Amino acid sequence: MSTPTLPLRQIKLQHGDVLSVSTLSDKTALAAFRRLLAGGTQAHLQRNPLLHAVLRFSPAEGATGRLGKREKASRGKTTERKSERAHKARMAAGGDEDGV
């Protein structure tokens, strides 16, 4: 039995990539991953080899290393939180304000 086909649906992704979805199984898989990954779908579509295999998609060469504005901001916040946690741990261990 063949896989049912749907009208071709093209989804524009970051860095100029386009994901083409034409089968019911691809549409179902994409919908499931979107629900699971929520806001991280774009990043995972660019970098996650499992998604590439399931959706038969390969991003443009070199696009996986670039960060978007949101990803850069998120990385900066993560670094800041780690620094704050380390400072709190030092304080709890009996360190002084200057970190000495």
**pLDDT at position 97, please?**
60
| Co-location of 92 and 54 in the same domain | no
- 11 and 60 inside one domain: yes
With 90 as the cut, is the pLDDT of residue 88 above it?
yes
Is the separation of the CB atoms in 6 and 52 below 8 Å? no
Residues 29 and 5 in one domain: yes
Identity of the highest mean pLDDT range in 11-15, 30-34, 65-69, 75-79:
30-34
- For 51-68, write each residue's pLDDT tens digit: 889 888 888 775 555 666
Can you tell me the distance from the alpha carbon of 15 to that of 17, in angstroms, rounded to the nearest whole number? 6
The domain containing residue 100 runs over which residues? 67-100
- How many distinct structural domains can be found in the chain? 2
My answer on whether 59 and 71 are in the same domain is no
**Cβ(59)–Cβ(15) below 8 Å:** yes
Same domain, yes or no: 41 and 83: no
Indicate if 49 and 14 belong to the same structural domain. Answer: yes
